[in-house]
Amino acid sequence: MKGLLKKVRKMLKNRIAVITIHKGGFKELFKTIRSINNQISEPDIHILVISKIGYQHAKFFEKKNRKIIINKDKSLYNAMNIALNFSFDYNVVFVNSGDEFSSKHSIKRIKANLSLNKCLVFKTKIIGNQIIYYPKKKFFLSKIYKPHPSFIRPPIKKNIDKIFFNEKNNITADAEWMEKNLRIFKLKKIDCYISNFYLGGTTTVPTLKSAIQRLKYGILNSFKELIKCFIFNIFNKKDFYKIIFSKNFYYKK
């Protein structure tokens, strides 16, 4: 019996689920799918939750290890929660539409560091306007650095440990989800890049609306977003990101 349990634990330890959320046109999704298909070590399951797309078009992405859920979600974080329902027995990493793995070795590197009781945090390259931003060593080692595309949650052991995204929190739900997982699991950081995050999406562009939304998380939080909005409207995008990333990142063209 002990031998069987040991085999089951080993199997759970090594299984990886990649989750991708997508809405709308195909261009960004093709980039993400390509980076997943090109891995020398495939995920055990790729859960693709897509909306605003026809069923006939979804056939382009069918694959043996891919589960496709079409037009079932109500919002971004609802889509993430739908995917989580199919992945509690796996190590989970989110690579959302438009982002990608850094290389064909990314999943192999994740598997080499997996642990049943630890969340892993790797490095993410931030890319925008032909500039790549890399986290400085001090920032990478800090408690703050937990990029969602390089955060791996281990398999869940009990139903009571199942943690979902707060769908009412459309500002910091990612950070909240990771912190809740870290109350259950330990944290291990791996000095290695596994993902590329691309700037320019709605979550990376500050607006007056996003500043108002952040009021529910405190005046200071809202004020910081307002300052970013002010800087964004004065400078071009390239200079804006250089300014806000200057403290914690270095960059290369």
Cα Rg, the chain, nearest whole Å: 19
* Closest by CA position to 154, among listed 142, 143, 163: 163
Q: What is the pLDDT of residue 223?
A: 66
Q: What is the pLDDT of residue 9?
A: 55
- With 0.75 as the threshold, say if the pTM is over it: yes
Answer yes or no: are the C-beta atoms of 52 and 23 closer than 8 Å: yes
Q: Which residues pair with 247 in a beta bridge?
A: none
Rounded to 5°, angle at Cα 145 from 140 and 147: 115
Average model confidence (pLDDT) across the chain? 87
At residue 86 the predicted structure's pLDDT band, cuts being 50, 70 and 90, is very high
Q: What is the pLDDT of residue 159?
A: 78
Q: How far apart are CA 104 and CA 174, in angstroms?
A: 25
pLDDT per position as a tens digit, 120-174: 999 999 998 889 999 999 999 999 999 999 999 999 987 778 999 999 988 889 9
Find how far residue 220's CA is from the centre of its chain.
26
Q: What is the pLDDT of residue 124?
A: 98
At residue 216 the predicted structure's pLDDT band, cuts being 50, 70 and 90, is low
Q: Which residues pair with 133 in a beta bridge?
A: 126, 251
Secondary structure (3-state) at 94: strand
